[in-house]
Structure 1
Amino acid sequence: MSAQRACSASELEQDTPLRVELDGVPIAIVRDSNDEIHAIGDTCTHGEISLSEGFVEGDTLECWAHGSAFSLRTGVPQNLPAYEPVPVYVVEIDGDDVLIDPTVTKDVS
């Protein structure tokens, strides 16, 4: 599969997650305070909660229900109760289009 259009960059508000679904894969897209665009799995690994309903703080996205914050760069939870990371997807920008391939995750090791 190849990258597909997830949204336009211009519709992303700073520090406000946007939930998209690509081929059945829920993804949270975030434009951080440094104007970088990130894409991580939208489901908290502690519970079936949409992370895009949470809060962006620095380079993390916090689950509103249980408080676990996930790194936008690595997907690794920064605190309990979550201990499993969420996937992080490669983001490509083509003009104003944000492109993501939901079958390819970043190697963050």
Structure 2
Amino acid sequence: MIPVCRTEDLPEGGAVRIEIDAATPAIAVFRSEGALYALDDRCSHQDASLSEGWVEGCQVECPLHAALFDLRTGMPSCLPARRPVRTHEVTEADGMIHVRPAAREPAAREDAYA
């Protein structure tokens, strides 16, 4: 598990971006409706940071083209996004939030993000 931040540093409706290393995609950690969620911090439609999006309920809206993603599953619920984003395990213990990155999937074709 990788430490993200102190629990008190992630407010309700907030997000924090973590970068692990050059080989691992950045991860966005969200707090919404009292729960914690973690997704790859890259919209599957174009290269936009989901941690800079708007959180409402169990969804985050991409700040670039308004695609919506379910924080629980990573599934998009409207266009222009068609592909889900990867989810990660996130826990809270002893006043700290931690994330366990999911295994990487094979690289997608570039035209899959169109």
Same-fold call, TM > 0.5? Answer: yes
Q: Name 1:61's counterpart in structure 2.
A: 60
Q: Name 2:14's counterpart in structure 1.
A: 16
Corresponding pairs, count: 102
Pairwise CA distance, 1:25:
2.6
Normalized against structure 1, the TM-score is what?
0.87
Superposed CA offset, 1:18-39 (max 9, x none): 111123431111110x210111
Hey, what's the Cα distance between the residues in 2 that align with 1:88 and 1:15?
18
Normalized against structure 2, the TM-score is what?
0.83
Unaligned runs of 5+ in 1: none
Cα pair 2:87 2:102 within 8 Å, conserved: no
Hey, what's the Cα distance between the residues in 2 that align with 1:76 and 1:103?
16
Cα pair 1:10 1:96 within 8 Å, conserved: yes
Q: Name 1:37's counterpart in structure 2.
A: 36
What CA RMSD, in Å, does the superposition of the two structures yield over aligned residues? 1.4
Hey, what's the Cα distance between the residues in 2 that align with 1:17 and 1:4?
16
Identity, % of aligned positions: 35
Give the secondary structure class of the aligned counterpart of 2:101: strand
Unaligned runs of 5+ in 2: 105-114
Superposed CA offset, 1:24-83 (max 9, x none): 431111110x21011111100000000111100110010011010100000000100001
The structure with the largest strand share of the pair is: 1
Give the secondary structure class of the aligned counterpart of 2:88: strand
